[in-house]
Amino acid sequence: MICLCLQPRSVSEAGRLLESSTGPACAVELRLDGMETPAVEGILPVRGRTVIVTVRKREEGGAFRGTEEERLRILAGAVRLGADYVDLELSAGEKAAGGLREEIARRGGQTKLILSFHDFAGTPAPETLRGIVLEARRMGADVVKTAVTARFPEDNLTLLDLLRFGAARGIPMAAHCMGEAGRLSRAAAPLFGSLFSYAAPSRGKETAPGQFTAHEMTVLGRLLGYEP
């Protein structure tokens, strides 16, 4: 499933971006950390789209400048307002993940929890990545997301093999390599079971290095024989 990454600067801009985000994307990731005053009120609920809410902290490539308590309150608010997924970094810790799981349970379990791991320096060893996937699952992840940086072509193979590792254990995953050297993994990840293919709405609107546009992902999917 193509996931269109949107990074609004205000509630009103979020509404405009959602209204104009037509095309091949089946889901949207709302990156609220780019907002001057991040909030979900006035944005959610969104009808007719699968919505992932993310408030990415600076240590993991985001722009959020508030406290961790504020950030977790925003994600809890997204749960209350019916987001399909909320994305929390694995580094936030077990207490934070547990708090969101409790909020999800109070709301009937409709929202799914993504626990994400990012490495902007390189690609960890396969055994390290497998341990990260298992730890995220143990902490209650409905979906495990891993985004690492490809420095060499073979790093793409490491991430694609990680998707096979997750699939063999029944662990829903989204995984890709960032950077120009990692574009192969972005194109091929759906073939190995990645739930989401994160894509930009247009060139120049990327939220991560090496990201394809939604149109490019659609073309690649058709060329490789899958429906993104």
In the chain, how long is the greatest CA-to-CA distance? 45
- φ/ψ of 93, rounded to 5, equals 100, 165
Residue 104: how many other CB atoms lie within 10 Å? 21
- Is 176 one of the annotated active-site residues of the chain? no
- Going by C-beta distance under 8 Å and a sequence separation of 6 or more, which residues neighbour residue 120? 61, 149, 178
Catalytic residue among 57, 95, 112, 118: 118
Is residue 85 exposed (0-12), middle (13-18) or buried (19+ Cβ within 10 Å)? buried
- Strand 85-89 vs strand 112-119: parallel, antiparallel, or unpaired? parallel
Q: Which ranges of the chain does DSSP label H, i.e. alpha helix?
A: 11-20, 68-80, 94-106, 126-138, 154-168, 183-188, 214-224
Which sign, positive or negative, has the C-alpha torsion 14, 99, 121, 166?
Answer: negative
Catalytic residue among 57, 95, 112, 145: 145
Which sign, positive or negative, has the C-alpha torsion 214, 220, 223, 227?
Answer: negative
- Is 145 one of the annotated active-site residues of the chain? yes
Three-class secondary structure of residue 209 per DSSP? coil
Name the residues annotated as catalytic. Answer: 118, 145
